[in-house]
Amino acid sequence: MRINLDAANAQAAQARMLAGRLRDLKIFLRSYQGDLLQHWRGQEMMPVNDTVNDIMSRLSQAASELESLGAGITTSAQSVRRADDLADARSSLARAETATASARRDLDAAQSRHNANPTPATQQALNTARNNLNNAIAAQNNASSSVRALL
């Protein structure tokens, strides 16, 4: 089963959106703290102010962690997809190599039959075997190019 990049990107976007909400909350809290400090000047404001500063610091840290998590989700999903694509390409290459080897054997057999009994039918079979080998080689080259592109 292949990784769903759309779902991973949606999760990463949600993590970034939540980070933005935490930053907005921090801005609101900073504004509220300013209002409190402006209108309430008692001794009890020192621990309240320290607590609000601690909360804002934690909000910033959580927002940064969510941003990092979002980036990690995206990077990991892309890495897994690339590994899946490479495995698929290598599998296609192996199948193409097998098909090419089989087409070579078929061509050798057709050549032997034609050499032993040159008739229009054996010539046609030989031409078909050559075409099959050329097609198999083209497919193998395409598969090989796909693997190289992913490395």
Per-residue pLDDT of the chain (151 residues; tens, 9 = 90+): 789 999 999 999 999 999 999 999 999 999 999 999 898 888 888 999 999 999 999 999 999 999 999 999 999 999 999 999 999 999 999 999 999 999 999 999 999 999 999 999 999 999 999 999 999 999 999 999 999 999 9
Those residues with Cβ within 8 angstroms of residue 79's Cβ, 6 or more apart along the chain or in another chain: none
Please report, in angstroms and rounded to a whole number, the separation of the first and last CA atoms in the chain. Answer: 21
The C-alpha torsion from 118 through 119 and 123 to 129, rounded to 10°, is -80
Residue 76 and residue 88: Cα distance in Å, rounded? 18
Q: Are 76 and 5 in contact (CB under 8 A)?
A: no
Q: How far is CA 96 from CA 30, 46, 124, 126, in A?
A: 64, 74, 24, 21
Residue 85 and residue 93: Cα distance in Å, rounded? 12
pTM for the complete prediction?
Answer: 0.71
Q: Provide the pLDDT for residue 124.
A: 97
Residue 32 and residue 83: Cα distance in Å, rounded? 49
Q: Provide the pLDDT for residue 1.
A: 76
- The helix/strand/coil state of 40 is coil
Residue 146 and residue 98: Cα distance in Å, rounded? 17
Neighbours of 26 (CB within 10 A): 18
